[in-house]
Amino acid sequence: MKISEYLLKEVKPIWDKYLEHPFVKGIGNGSLPKEKFKGYLIQDYLYLKEYSKVFCMGVIKAKTMDEMRFFYKSIKGTMEDETAVHIEYLKKFGIKEKEIEIMDMHLVTTSYISYMQALALTGDLEDIVATTLPCTWSYNYIGRYLKDKYADCLEDNYYKAWIDTYASEGYSEFTDAWIDYIDNICADITDEKKEKIEDIFIKSSLYELQFWDMAYKNL
């Protein structure tokens, strides 16, 4: 069994909670209060800014030019492509990008980012991929699910652009590339290392769930 298949099996109960989460369901059916979405977008923008720095450590620790390019593409994709949908929505709320930069991160956002960046600083490439992949992969998992489940009523959904972004062919290809990468670099790892990768992957997945909770309850 590939490491990606094993990890998905281990976190599927957590990821399926994402699909039933009231915040995610509210995006899918369009019922989510816009103020909650605004708060989420601000925190997620701040998160993505710091998340990009984790990939920067991947560039530093990469062993080949190909690996460096791979991590660089992820930095560019996160900073330019993924944040673009956030910026467009926030413009509708009258919030400029520079204004977000000076806003405070919620405790959950800070904790999640601190966990990832600590792993990036002290760990190896496998650790970096294990902590970042749940974000990328689970958003594609959610986006594709919502695109399929609510296919008949998306046109008038305020959150259609968000769903389209994470369900898109381009984002799916980006996700698949990362899945292939973790399968390749973890092909010959020891059982001890596999346990560590599993622990990191589960913890990041739980942080993702806390992020959805925060967005729905506190923002």
Kindly report the number of other CB atoms within 10 A of residue 134's CB atom.
24
The catalytic position among 135, 155, 186, 198 is 135
- The token duo for 217 is 């309850």
Q: Any residues with CB less than 8 A from the CB of 97 and at least 6 apart, and which?
A: 87, 90
Is 208 designated active site? Answer: yes
Secondary structure class of 166 (helix, strand, coil): helix
Q: What is the per-residue burial (b if ≥16 Cβ within 10 Å, else e) of 55-64?
A: bebbeebbee
Give the ranges where the chain is alpha helix by DSSP (H).
3-20, 22-29, 34-61, 65-76, 83-92, 97-101, 107-122, 125-149, 160-167, 169-185, 191-217
Question: Which pairs with CB-CB distance under 8 Å and at least 24 residues apart come from 102-105?
Answer: 103/42, 103/46, 105/43, 105/46, 105/47
Q: Which residues are catalytic?
A: 135, 208
